Structure 1
Amino acid sequence: MTQLPHRSHDRPTGTAPPTTALRRRLAELRGADRAPRPLDARALAALTANPGCERRALLDGAGVDKGALAQALGAPTSFGQSQFAFVRGHAFESRVKGDGGAELIRLLHGTAPEPGETVVPELTADGPAGRAERTRLALAEATTAGVWTLLDHPMVELEVAGSPAYLEPDAVTVAPDGGWTVIEIKSFPILDGAADPAKVGAAARQAAVYALALERLGGTVSDRALLVCPKDFSNVPTAAPMDIRKQLATVRRQLARLTRIEEIAAALPQGTSFDPDRPAGELSAAVESVPAAYAPECLASCELAFHCRERARQAGEVGALGRGVRGELGGLTTVEATLAAARGEAGEGDDPAVAAVRRAARLRAEVLAEVRGGGAA
């Protein structure tokens, strides 16, 4: 495999950390005695796929344990790997990174470095902020060293809706020319040169999140990540490059659309808390005080999906039928309003969405009339 191409980015201006007042407010929201739950790349990719959901933006930004919250609301969901999958994935990752990263460099570059030629810096530090700073220093040193460097589980920082999120890629390599590449190591197989498109897409979105966080450090970040998976049904690693330019553009755009956390928090009533130890009635009222944008896709990525689905169905929201339906119907936000428009009882005729549902209603009536007429004959 040839070495992946790289591109340069100017280092962007750093963003100010959240204020003491905001940190205190977010601590109150999740529960004073509860440690913040870290926002990982998988959750961030899901968040950017639904930037209109202020509820998820606030809960993730505040570090609320959404799984415990859903349990307290009586709408738990099951997320995460099985213990078997976790152990298998961990064993595969250890194999890929063995021998000082020589196998990983071979998969990336096509040839393995000589023993001892790959540098694997120590990234241990106190807390996520300390680890992120240690990663920044290690990347700076590796960029000028002129040798292959493997950063094993580095820590990078990305601002999300005005609050810092600390993210941990599987690995980042620095080539002798100073280029940085994100490595995604997954336990799903590549069979006959192809893998599950949905899983590859999810891996590409996560890699784009990591690449975006790396960009702010001013390095030469590749717009192709490397996906490493087991080959066929073995435990032998194989690799394929992933072009993440589209995902990078999407993540940038969606992050820019996210409402800043302090704005959402400022609109909440005083005393609002998402502490799962609160009574169910209080918790439900707190959750409902933050606007959500439910869609069926949430079922695969958000612990609160069952709760939000039930509320969306009760309210007759068209978003419960899918984001595509919600987008096509424009200002018709409820099933009741859509049916009224189809019957000609509401809506302006020059509204494209209203015109479309009225035409659909006419076509349906004509088809039903033909069917009934044929049955009578």
Structure 2
Amino acid sequence: MRRRLAELRGPDVAPRALDARALAALAANPGCRRRALLDGAGVDKGALARALGAPAPFGQSQFAFSRGHAFEARVKGDGGGELMRLVHARTGAPGTPPPEPDEVTVPDLTAAGPAGRAERTALALERATADGGWTLLDHPMLELEVAGSPVYLEPDAVAVHPDGRRTVVEIKSFPILDGSADPAKVGAAARQAAVYALALEPLGGRVDERALLVCPKDFSNLPTAEAVDLRRQRATTRRQLARLTRLEEIAAALPEGVTFAPDRPPDELADAVRAVPAAYAPQCLSTCELAFHCRERARAAGAVEVLGREVRGELGELTTLAAVLAAAHSGPDGSDGSDGASGDGPDDPSVAALRRAARLRAEALSTADPTATVPPPERPRCP
């Protein structure tokens, strides 16, 4: 299977690592076989999107990247003493004293390749649990099986308590102002931490139900932290990852010779991407580099997915905008008033709801024609 995935990437193309943010986005859309295969094969979706002429205009700026690294270095300075004090204050067992800087063990996790680092991390966790002290794992490597293929993940840190409990630490550069932070950013950090927590579970030991979110306090560069409950995110992500189709099943359905190497001609790449089914939704625009290409194709096909998952779910078997309009304008017997039927019977609840909405619209516009458009308002004339 590894050889097949390497062929999909293209000869001499290094695999792109799948981080927790991308994995959380993949788990949020488990029906998208296109993203599952491209991420599992390590395809650089950003380069692929640029080759297709639909680059994604999002990403972290160099300034934000540098600021985040500088803040993380400050948090982990002094041998991790300040960070472990935050861990104790927010997630430590009640009544236990905070760790002194010389009481924190920071093992060396360097090894050859991600597999070697993952094995070194597992040994460090086992040793930390046996020792019964405070241990800080700085950028450990964790392994998680996704769609039948191993994925390596690197959290900011994992803290091991004296009782053996493991707490995922997420260090972010967005501020906590007056004890609260942007809910959307906190939610995204919680989903990433949930992925790391799932990757810790196979290693044994007790994984904390909370993650520690460390951010700058107010407008300063001083770190502060809050505990984030991960129970709902872990359960949701576990369920969504279990629904992913295995990569070998997706790859087996592709034509022979398909490759996603970004140096191939655009027409060939477009055919290769088209060969893998996608599940586009507007939410993909902020999480997937290939979303703008998928949106163009969905619009060209008149697919109802461009209206959002909620609308798509309400429309049932109506999969195109043309079918939706035909159903809305159909008569009581299900005919569309032209030379064919609307595609769904009049007893279909989606068709009935669309017909009622069209009738209410017509009444609101005081016209018997539900396809009539509202005339533009007259501009006020200056006296």
TM-score (norm 2): 0.90
1:46 to 25, 41, 54: 25
Tell me the alpha carbon deviations over residues 245-273 of structure 1, each in whole angstroms, 9 at most, x when there is no partner: 11111111111111111001000000000
Are the aligned partners of 1:102 and 1:112 in contact in 2 as well (CA < 8 Å)? no
Contact map agreement 1:223 1:243 (CA 8 A) in 2:
yes
Q: Distance in 2 between matches of 1:72 and 1:115?
A: 51
Q: 1:364 to 1:160 in 2, by over 3 A?
A: same
Structure 2 distance, partners of 1:309, 1:260, is 25
- Conserved in 1, the CA contact under 8 Å of 2:214 and 2:224? yes
Deviation at 1:352, TM superposition (A): 2.4
Q: Give 1:331's match in structure 2, choosing from 317, 320, 344.
A: 317
1:96 pairs, out of 63, 72, 75, with: 75
- For residues 203-261 of structure 1, what are the alpha-carbon distances to aligned partners after superposition, in whole Å with 9 as ceiling and x for unaligned? 00000000001011122001110100000000000011111111111111111111111
Residue type at the aligned position of 1:260: R
Instruction: List gaps (5 residues or longer) in structure 2.
Output: 90-96, 331-335, 337-341, 370-374, 376-383
Q: 1:370: Cα distance to partner?
A: 7.1
Counterpart AA for 2:132: G
Equivalent residues of 2:362, 2:368 under 8 A apart: no
**Structure 2 CA distance, aligned partners of 1:292 and 1:170?**
32
Q: Which amino acid aligns with 2:76?
A: K
Q: What is the letter of the counterpart of residue 368 of structure 1? A: L
Matches within 5 A, 1:21-60: 22-60=1-39
| 1:363 and 2:360 matched | yes
Contact 2:80-2:101 at 8 Å conserved across structures: no
- Secondary structure, in 3 states, of the residue corresponding to 2:365? helix
Taking every aligned residue pair, what percent have the same amino acid on both sides? 76
Amino acid at match of 1:104: L
Structure 1 segment 216-231 matched on structure 2, within 5 A: 216-231=202-217
Q: CA deviation at 1:78?
A: 3.0
Alpha-carbon contact 1:189-1:230 (below 8 Å) kept: yes
For 2:368 and 2:346, the matched residues in 1 are separated by 28
- Whichever residue aligns with residue 52 of structure 2, its letter is L
Equivalent AA in structure 2 for residue 92 of structure 1: F
| Secondary structure class of the residue paired with 2:101 | coil
Task: Report how many residues are paired.
Answer: 352
Matched, 1:75 2:54: yes
In structure 2, what residue type is equivalent to 1:171? A
Q: How far apart, in 2, do the equivalents of 1:118 and 1:179 lie?
A: 15
Q: Is the 8 A contact 1:103 1:112 kept in 2?
A: no
Once residues 62 and 148 of structure 1 are traced to their aligned partners in structure 2, the CA distance between those partners, rounded to angstroms, is 38
C-alpha separation in 2, matches of 1:78 and 1:341? 37
Higher RCO (CA 8 Å, separation ≥ 6 residues): 1
User: Which range moves more in the overlay, 286-295 or 328-337?
Assistant: 328-337
Pairwise CA distance, 1:115: 2.7
Local SS of the residue matching 2:104 = coil
Amino acid at match of 2:70: A
TM-score by length of 1: 0.91
Structure 1 residue aligned with 2:297:
311
Say which of 191, 203, 207 aligns to 2:189.
Answer: 203
Q: Find the structure with the greater CA-based Rg.
A: 2
Deviation at residue 306 of structure 1 after TM alignment = 1.0
> 2:154 matched to 1:175?
no
Aligned-residue CA RMSD (Å): 1.5
Identify the match of residue 160 of structure 1 among 146, 149, 152: 146
Helix, strand or coil for the counterpart of 1:306?
helix
Cα displacement (A) at 1:358: 1.8
- Structure 1 unaligned spans of 5+: 1-21
Alignment partners' CA distance in 2, 1:289 and 1:186: 38
Among 109, 114, 126, the alignment partner of 2:88 is 109
Pick the aligned partner of 2:66 from 87, 104, 125: 87
Which residue matches 1:136?
122
